[in-house]
Structure 1
Amino acid sequence: MIEYLSGRLLSSKPFHAVVVCGGVGYGVEIPLSVTELLPRVGSDVELYIHMHVQEDAIRLYGFLSEKDREMFDLIISVSGVGPRTAIMILSEMKSSELANAIVTEDLQKISKVKGIGRKTAEKMIVELREKMVKFLRVIPAASMSKNDSAAAASDSPDAVDDGTKPVATSQIADAIDALVALDCKYAVAEKSVVKAAKELGSDATLDALIRLALRYR
């Protein structure tokens, strides 16, 4: 099973690259977003690989990060969605953007992707929503550790005692980390999450907390 390639970039064009490793050229299908970020031909390149085995062919799909490969794997786990459709999706949307759209149930944004109709978008939301919450939780926060996030959330001026039992600080920290991973500024993420936590109360799930906080951004 090929999971990673490190070698010299022999050629690249939209949706396809050839990487030479140990004298062998590997043809790899890639999203347009990867094509745009590849180095010059002749330069060293590293790709994280998903190897897709079919009865009549073995195809390699390449990504610049493990997180993007993980997103690809999640997309093709949806019934009726194949690798080429997944490549089209990741050509038009960043992994974080897609995760955001699925968590917030943004049907319109997902169904705008070529080859994705409303029914497929609905299916992706149903089958991937919980997985996307976990996906967002493991993306490293851009500016603070989880402990720092929890402390900051508890010290927020908006976190006043209004008589309701507060959401656990660990939940707040996880939600803040998720929003920061979606390129939200920390201060905005903190304010949005605290506001959502106050509205939802102690029974709030992390999924609900993130979804509501995203609407307050």
Structure 2
Amino acid sequence: MIAFLRGAFTYKSPALVHIDVGGVGYELQISLNTYSRIEQLESGVLLTYLHIREDAHVLYGFFDKAEKDLFIQLLSVSGVGATTARMMLSSMKPEEITRAILQGNAKQLESIKGIGKKSAERIILELRDKLGKSREETINFSSLTSNTLEQDALNALITLGIARPAAENAIKKVMSDGAGSDKIEDIIKKALKII
């Protein structure tokens, strides 16, 4: 499907943006969070999610991966649709929603329009473990994500079919041995020898 769109923002509102990509105009539903990030921009990149319903195909746009990932996680909760997920992301920042879920703070989620007590409890119940695991992975791998060269090497190894933990360990070993290089190809080759 459509992973992202890069182009000129021809129309922007707090809920909707039109993006011109090579002469084709795409309409994307966005959250207030994304709008605040693109409000001053004339062009840019938005990550997308195509939501297929019986009566429509709706394209949603996100400024960053964290927001898109949380949107998809929220859709996995029974009773939470795309409109509710977008409302949540418009009411709170993705990290605030994640924190509320991880802390089991149903009251904070209930403060969002359209989220009642039962919905808030269901979201916490269904997403707490999933978000906790992804947060642990982020913390464990944060040393690599700060270096884009290492991150690119990691992504390449994963694309080649290497399990993420093995790829992580190999890259860390290559870099700690001082065998790192300014070239991503060298890092990947040395990491492949270790795996």
Q: TM-score, normalised by structure 2?
A: 0.69
Counterpart of 1:23 in structure 2 is 23
Q: 1:145 is matched by which residue type in structure 2?
A: S
The Cα shift of 1:145 comes to 2.9
- Structure 1: how far apart are the matches of 2:47 and 2:136? 21
Counterpart secondary structure, 1:99: helix
What do the CA deviations read for 1:74-111 (whole angstroms, capped 9, x no partner)? Answer: 00100010001001101111111111111110010011
Q: 1:73 maps to what in 2?
A: 72
Q: Which amino acid aligns with 1:30?
A: I
Aligned partner letter, 1:37:
R
Gap change, CA 1:18 and 1:138, over 3 Å in 2: farther
Contact kept? 1:99, 1:136, Cα under 8 Å: no
Deviation at 1:138, TM superposition (A): 3.8
**SS class of match (1:14):** coil
SS at match of 2:27: strand
Structure 2 CA distance, aligned partners of 1:121 and 1:44?
36
Which ranges in structure 2 are unaligned for 5 or more consecutive residues? 145-195
Local SS of the residue matching 2:11: strand
- Percent of paired sites with the same residue: 36
Secondary structure in 1 matching 2:83:
helix
d(CA) in 2 for partners of 1:84, 1:126: 20
Q: Please state whether the residue corresponding to 1:115 is helix, strand or coil.
A: coil
**Distance (Å, rounded) in 2 between the aligned partners of 1:103 and 1:21:** 38
- What count of residue pairs does the alignment treat as equivalent? 144
Counterpart-to-counterpart distance in 2, 1:98 and 1:134:
16
Alignment partners' CA distance in 2, 1:138 and 1:5: 28
Where does residue 93 of structure 1 map in the other structure? 92
1:145 aligns with 2:143: yes
Offset from partner CA, 1:109-137 (integer Å, 9 cap, x none): 01110000000000001100101102322
Matches of 2:94 and 2:134, distance apart in 1: 10
1:93–1:54 Cα change, 3 Å: same
SS across alignment from 1:145: helix
Where 1:19 maps in the other structure, the secondary structure is strand
Q: Is the 8 A contact 1:39 1:45 kept in 2?
A: no
Q: AA paired with 1:7?
A: G
Superposed structure 1 runs of 4+ greater than 3 Å apart: 138-141
- Aligned equivalents of 1:61 and 1:138: distance in 2? 26
One-letter code aligned to 2:10: L
Output the TM-score relative to the length of structure 1. 0.62
Aligned to 1:37: 37
Partners in 1 of 2:138 and 2:76 — Cα distance?
20
Structure 1: runs of 5 or more not aligned = 147-217
Could you tell me how far apart the structure 1 residues matched to 2:109 and 2:35 are? 22
- Counterpart residue number, 1:9: 9
Distance verdict in 2 for CA 1:145–1:112, change over 3 Å: same
